[in-house]
Amino acid sequence: MANFAFNRGLGRGVEWAERVNASDPTNAVLVIMILAASGIESDATLKDKDSFADIVAGATNEVTNSGYTRKVIDQSGGIVITYDDTNDRVDVDMPDQTWTAVAAGDGWSDLVIGYDPDSTGGTDSAILPWSQHDFTTTPDGSDLVVQFPATGFFRAS
């Protein structure tokens, strides 16, 4: 598996980060979901999915380990957008994320970041997938930390 931007997120990622930071629309957030290692579909298949509901509608599942919950990043979550005019690109970053005392169970395969334009709606069909990142680990009761690269988790150029 490799890191990639979902087709739905191509060209829109920076806009989504800006919208969350501006709270426009109100209750716009980024959501982080972890995918289980067993049964995961290919990157080519996943890339075409249009919502979080679509991602888990096939053979791919979200993890169910005790200690796991989706991370929700709102306008106060520390999303940093860096416009680099020298290199003609934009980098998007957020703070590293920690899951505390994640119990054994599902092996973890990938981390998916999505955009939810209204977090009060509560449906996975409204969360648009933005990017997927390798995050392979086997929980054992310890804390799990995703460390985003210093350049961020997304780059548009």
The overall average pLDDT reported for the chain is 95
Query: Where do the H-state alpha helices sit in the chain?
Result: 13-22, 43-46, 52-55
75-123 pLDDT tens trace: 999 999 999 999 999 999 999 999 999 999 999 999 999 999 999 988 9
Question: Tokens representing 30?
Answer: 């980024």
Give SS3 for 34.
strand
**Structure confidence at residue 10 as a pLDDT band (50, 70, 90):** confident
Question: Measured in Å, how far apart are the chain's first and last C-alpha atoms?
Answer: 23
Residues 130-143: tens digit of each pLDDT: 999 999 999 999 99
